[in-house]
Structure 1
Amino acid sequence: MTRIDASFAATSTARDVVEGIDLSGRTAIVTGGASGIGVETARALAYAGADVTLAVRDVDAGRRVAQEITGARPGASVRVASLDLADIDSVDRFVDTWTGILHLLINNAGVMMTPELRTPRGWELQFATNHLGHFALAHGLHGALAAAGEARIVSVSSSGHGASDIVYEDLFFDRRPYDAGQAYGQSKTANALFAVEATRRWAGDGITANAVMPGGIWTNLQRHWTPDVLAATRKHVAAAGLFTKTPEQGAATSVFAATSPSLKAIGGRYLEDCREAEVVPAIIDGLHGVLPYAIDPANARRLWDVSHDLLHTPGPTP
């Protein structure tokens, strides 16, 4: 199996990656496209000519981003649609209103290190939002993706997957003390595993999926951190000399996975800095590498089946 590499680096931006690529006639959905790297992902895809839909919780924020992109790039096509990934009914409504084929699905939205919160179905919020919502969205849009003939899904994971494998015996922290970091890690492992199994199941339909690690970036994603934790983390990063990315740089690997010719018909990979990550026994510097359990085919199959069963189990009666 050929390892994916590229001439880009950690400092490359999404615009660098998409330069010279023509996405005219292609449709794209970017979840969480109203903030952070989602904005820069959408901007780069629109710059290259794609018809981009920002699927967002905050529609007003999405409209501001759409206006900013189209104002700077006359002729760009950017629309906004409401989507709350923690609410499966919202996912279903989004799917029901989607028309036409879909070439690119960028599963970018996410929450990180939240307090212990649950959805109306009783699911822990981070796993529900980061994984189950996107899992349901991809399933609902499968027909539109298959109709494209060659479609790509980008699953935004994180080096945070190193905090936890999937704990099948207690997915939602019903029996163990809630740990925000472990909950986030589990959801990011799920994002990586989704790419493995989606490719195995759907490659025959012309659909491939890859997981990406954006890099260390300061965005609104850290909004649930306490001020003390945020300050201590910034101090550690600075003292260790670790490289942090801008949102434009953070979006580069997502855009690479979505558009690079080197990934044509290739899926199930975990990418960082626009190249395939090294499989490691422990995350290097807290940022680099992928742990074996996050790309394990048997683990991916098991998670897929568990996720499918969860989505098809009736929720509590109001």
Structure 2
Amino acid sequence: MTRWTANDLPDLTGRTVLITGAGRGLGLIAARELARAAVAGLPGTFDVRHLDVSDLTSVRTFADSWSDRLDILINNAGVMDVPAGRTPDGLDVQTATNHTGPFLLTNLLLGHVTDRVVHVTSQLHRQGRIDLTDLDWRTRVYNGMAANQASKLAVVLFSLELQRRLTATGSPLRSVLASPGIARTALASHSRSNIVNRFTFLTNTPERGALSLLYAATQDVPGNTYIGPNGLGGLRGDPTVRRQGENGLDEAMAARLWDATADLVGAIA
């Protein structure tokens, strides 16, 4: 089978793509390649705007200022295994950055989207456990890795419920998931788990990891498709259609998580 690469991107002339966390890492690579796929190889136009997805006020301000057509929204910004901390809204930093803020942003911008929403998740969602009675880590002893796994599972469940709602209303929009596998970026540089980056045979380069985002953003796949590397365990390789963990296909949990997240963020329309 022929490898899918950034050279296989379709012509994106005239398309508008919003990528959060595009200042470095996978987001920067994805932005570069998407722009390169516009105007017959000429570089596309970049518009850099301030947005802190962990800060609900910043999210609302950003969404209120958006008046343009938006073909593709890529929720890429994220953190991993960070110390306990609270946002200006009093929310857990890791949960807010990876799930709560993107949940609000997506809902506020959905009326502008014409094609799809791409959610960047992780293979770690398979180990995730969500406590709906303490989604924001207020009563449990905080554990950075457990919070990360839970937030990445929340991303997968958000996609599931968002697609269910889109389908129920007859919307042609798609909610798609992308996992880069283990990409050797600075995301986990502060974490004990970063030791895996020393084993290059288990990991993807950032450029190869970003291919999952690009594939999910541009290829004709059904709603709630999960794109990840084709190698063993989905840790490295080229992008292909894979299957999310069983815990990410729990429709009842996805609906309950939606309601619990909405309670945290307030009005979402």
TM over 0.5: yes
**Closer, same or farther in 2 for the Cα pair 1:270/1:8, shift >3 Å?**
farther
The answer (yes or no) to whether the contact 1:217–1:246 under 8 Å persists in 2 is: yes
SS in 2 for 1:22: coil
SS in 1 for 2:46: strand
Structure 2 length as normaliser, TM-score? 0.88
Deviation at 1:233, TM superposition (A): 3.3
Aligned partner of 1:16 in structure 2 is: 7
The answer (yes or no) to whether the contact 1:102–1:144 under 8 Å persists in 2 is: yes
SS in 2 for 1:82: coil
Amino acid in the other structure paired with 2:184:
W
The answer (yes or no) to whether the contact 2:36–2:42 under 8 Å persists in 1 is: no
Deviation at 1:191, TM superposition (A): 0.9
- Residue by residue over 1:160-210, the C-alpha shift from the partner in whole angstroms, topping out at 9 and shown as x without a partner, is 113322111222222221110000001100111111111111242321111
- Asked if 1:140 is matched to 2:108, the reply is yes
Aligned partner of 1:294 in structure 2 is: 248
**Closer, same or farther in 2 for the Cα pair 1:37/1:17, shift >3 Å?**
farther
Aligned partner of 1:4 in structure 2 is: none
Instruction: Give the superposed CA RMSD.
Output: 1.9
Deviation at 1:120, TM superposition (A): 2.3
- Asked if 1:33 is matched to 2:22, the reply is yes
Seq. identity, %: 37
- Asked if 1:77 is matched to 2:45, the reply is yes
Distance 1:234 1:119 in 2: 29
- Asked if 1:193 is matched to 2:157, the reply is yes
What is the count of residue pairs matched by the alignment?
255
Distance 2:258 2:99 in 1: 10
Stretches of structure 2 that go unaligned for 5 or more consecutive residues are 230-238
Distance 1:194 1:8 in 2: 32
The answer (yes or no) to whether the contact 2:36–2:43 under 8 Å persists in 1 is: no
- Asked if 1:312 is matched to 2:266, the reply is yes
Distance 1:35 1:75 in 2: 18
The answer (yes or no) to whether the contact 1:17–1:255 under 8 Å persists in 2 is: no
Distance 1:257 1:131 in 2: 19
SS in 2 for 1:276: strand
The answer (yes or no) to whether the contact 2:11–2:37 under 8 Å persists in 1 is: yes
Aligned partner of 1:285 in structure 2 is: none
- Asked if 1:173 is matched to 2:137, the reply is yes
- Residue by residue over 1:132-153, the C-alpha shift from the partner in whole angstroms, topping out at 9 and shown as x without a partner, is 11011111101111xx3xx111
Distance 2:258 2:173 in 1: 16
**Higher Cα radius of gyration:** 1
Distance 1:35 1:139 in 2: 25
SS in 1 for 2:183: coil
- Residue by residue over 1:88-135, the C-alpha shift from the partner in whole angstroms, topping out at 9 and shown as x without a partner, is 110111111111211100000101110001112221111111101101
Aligned partner of 1:67 in structure 2 is: none
Quick one: which of 196, 208, 213 aligns to 1:233? 196
- Asked if 1:270 is matched to 2:231, the reply is no
Distance 2:62 2:261 in 1: 19
Deviation at 1:234, TM superposition (A): 4.0
Distance 1:157 1:217 in 2: 12
Aligned partner of 2:182 in structure 1 is: 216
The answer (yes or no) to whether the contact 2:35–2:43 under 8 Å persists in 1 is: no
The answer (yes or no) to whether the contact 1:17–1:252 under 8 Å persists in 2 is: no
Distance 2:255 2:100 in 1: 15
- Residue by residue over 1:32-81, the C-alpha shift from the partner in whole angstroms, topping out at 9 and shown as x without a partner, is 0011110111111111118xxxxxxxxxxxxxxxxxxxxxx754211100
